[in-house]
Amino acid sequence: MDVETQHSLKYACPQCEDIFSHLSSLRRHKLAKHAESQKTPKSLVCPSCDVAFSNFDTFEVHLKVEHDFEVESQSLSFDSEAKFEEWKRSIEQRGDVKFVIRTTVRSSEKRTIYFRCNRSGKVRLRVTSDDRKRERKSQGSRKIDSHCPARITASVTTDGRVTVLFCKSHFGHEMKLAHIPIPSPVRRKVASQIASKVPLDSVLEETQTTLSGELRREHLISMQDFHNIVRDFGLNCEVIRHSDDSTSVEAWVESQNALPSDESSVLFYKAKGSKSPQFPQLKESDFMLAIMTLGQKEILEAFGHDVICLDSTHGTNGFRYKLTTLLVLDEFRQGFPCAFLITDRNDHEGVEVFLNRIKEKVGTLNCRVLMTDMAQVFYNSWKAVMGDCPVRLFSSWHVMRAWQNKINATIKDKTKKQSASHIMYTLLTETDENVFSTMLTNLVNKLCSDDDTSVFGKYIEDNYKKSAKNWAYCFRERAGINTNMHLERMHGILKHLYLKGTSAKRIDLSIDALMKLINSKLFDRLVSLEKISMTLDTNRVLPTPEANVWTVAASNGNELYKVSRLDQPCTIQPCLLNSKRCETCFHVFSCTCIDFSIQNNVCEHIHLVCRFLGKCANNEDVTDEQMEISDEEGFLIEDEHQNSMKISELTNILSSTSTQDSPRESIEDLKQEVLDLVHSALNSCQTREQVLSCKRIASSMQPVVDASIYSAISFKEKEKVNVRKKIDPQRRFISKKKKTQKTNNFKPTIEEKGRIATRATLDSFP
């Protein structure tokens, strides 16, 4: 109903047909003109026979006559309201009952408060029985759909004295702790502990251990009660700013837009039901929120011209909106997410809007390598916005998953299914282009010639033979990346660590998880800049007759890799991986392992050779079993000033996102600042909902202030404990059931891989 229709309604008196514009005016008219004809409503319903009464006097007479139940009552008086409240809490605790305020009547002489048993009243269901999707609580509702005669009438005079009429007899229900709310002092204490970041498990254990013979309501507290306390006290008001998810997201966006433009984390926002004048191709029903913090922007500007990954994931919110992430690799070859997009529009137009906003923020990104999934959405959108990319790669993980799904769907024979998997993995990981070309032709012909594998062979020939440069290892040497595992790992950390293994029902919770993830990644980078160390075994390095060539054994001892020193000097200035002990850097070496040739990582074999050379230059014994390589032992950063600048910039970014205030401000100045914020917010409120939202946020202040009372006390260390030592295994019965050996059907062993490659090259399949 719109506002104009609501104001145009007329209310007619059914007795004299007078017309009124407001319902309240009609009610006043009935009381003034037709008071005699007005019937007193009968709201008190008997729990046993459903007969209704208009007052407690007739209700009590009915209980005595019809049900042989007499209500006991007594009169009491107290010197102050505090003593009355103390008495009320004691009778509630002794009788497992709760009295709640029904109404309050004020006059010039006194204030009368009417308390009723909390079990009285009608059951109010938000959803009717026909529309319910889950069963009601097994313990039933707190309300009994009728009324209990127990009540308290307290009259408070102007001098503070309290006169009480206490009707103590309950009728129509049992005394159950499950139907009593948690006492307010317990709720306040729990709220203070939660505000002081005490783990919920510890709060639950502390509350339950207070049981000493008498069971009280707080001993039945559960995790759901904790979540209700967090909600009621507004302890999550920084995350959930409003009960409505869309309003909460709008509030977060507005808070970001109020910051200076270079500090705002909102890259682009379009709410549902609104139009975007900047991007008219977006529909009114589309939702789009793009996030890029200041730290993400600087990382993207620094490393956005090398390797970029684009991929989407689901399961981060309850609306089936996808989370799209743009990720780069830094100088340590670690993945760093530089932009996020939460949207229900994950097609070409939606992704192009996302990339256009990134382009406006940091300029055109001429990346060297772009890795996406095998669909064309991300790649075509990138070409339309940023231009063509020299190298486009498919994630090996996506490729292998697609192959395995097709193998499982088209090949029935288990032996041939495993053989096809081993063939395709061998083909995928071949690093020599000439050998790969021969293997591809022979292997596809072999698959197509067999009736059981012909469908899969045709699938490979039609979909992957022409796009071999996008997925084969031999075409991605020095590409710097092989799979999307950086993104997959980041999405896994987001879901399992920051979202606690659940799909968040609200988008504001997803936003909070993303912001925490970004902050954590920035600190991880700060640690990487400050501290670089690894442990290596130089026994695995063996010189060869060739000059500047060494053989290094793999850590498992099954393979040998060749490390060579290149003729050209390092082109990276300043080089963060320069060794002053052997006066060279890792970038003037090459290795035959996949970690170097495909992922362009400074592999452990190059580390070993450089360490080996450093020990030889200093005439050290090269047979030491273990040697730690750290910045104290030679792998120092060539340009200390440059590294210090990076650390300083990153520290400033993290400091700007901190919630700590400047210690230079006095307490009185801070108090005045908070009061000004509260007054400004209240003065701008125009609706009841806005005032209630402010009240909910203000209710969290006292628990936070009280949190210092419950500060943790550390235990004194009694003995040295190895925290990495595993606990002793529990004694178990020995099962005689044979366990199936789990094997990776897709990856062949080294020997099988060698046989497949030889046969494929010579075209000598049996």
Contact, 601 vs 577, CB < 8 A?
no
Q: What is the CA radius of gyration of the chain?
A: 36
Tell whether the model's pLDDT for residue 358 goes beyond 90.
yes
Question: Which of 338-342, 464-468, 694-698 has the least mean pLDDT?
Answer: 694-698
Give the pLDDT band of residue 533 (cuts 50, 70, 90): very low
Question: Measured at the alpha carbon of residue 498, what is the angle toward residues 494 and 502, in degrees to the nearest 5?
Answer: 85
Residue 662 tokens, joined: 């400047």
Tell whether the model's pLDDT for residue 167 goes beyond 90.
yes
Predicted local distance difference test score (pLDDT) of residue 315: 73
pLDDT digits (tens, 9 = 90+) for 611-625: 777 655 554 443 333
**Mean pLDDT (whole number) for 241-254:** 85
Between the two ends of the chain, the Cα-to-Cα distance in Å is 79
Give the pLDDT band of residue 224 (cuts 50, 70, 90): confident
pLDDT digits (tens, 9 = 90+) for 61-84: 999 999 999 999 999 999 999 999
pLDDT digits (tens, 9 = 90+) for 637-661: 344 556 666 667 767 776 666 555 5
DSSP, collapsed to helix, strand or coil, labels residue 397 as: helix
**How far, in Å, CA of 332 to CA of 299, rounded?**
13
Predicted local distance difference test score (pLDDT) of residue 246: 86
Q: Facing residues of 550 across strands?
A: 543, 563
Residue 537 tokens, joined: 């075994």
Question: Which of 390-399, 454-463, 726-735 has the least mean pLDDT?
Answer: 726-735
pTM score: 0.64
Predicted local distance difference test score (pLDDT) of residue 717: 44
Contact, 13 vs 20, CB < 8 A?
yes
Predicted local distance difference test score (pLDDT) of residue 624: 37
H or E element: which one contains 393?
Answer: strand 391-394
Tell whether the model's pLDDT for residue 713 goes beyond 90.
no
Count Cβ atoms within 10 A of the Cβ of residue 199 and give its class: 0-12 exposed, 13-18 middle, 19 or more buried.
Answer: exposed
Tell whether the model's pLDDT for residue 710 goes beyond 60.
no
- Long-range contact list for 483-487, CB < 8 A, 24+ apart? 483/395, 483/396, 483/397, 484/309, 484/311, 484/371, 484/373, 484/395, 484/397, 484/398, 485/397, 486/309, 486/327, 486/329, 486/334, 486/335, 487/309, 487/311, 487/325, 487/327, 487/335, 487/337
Give which of 291, 304, 297 is closest to 340, Cα–Cα: 291
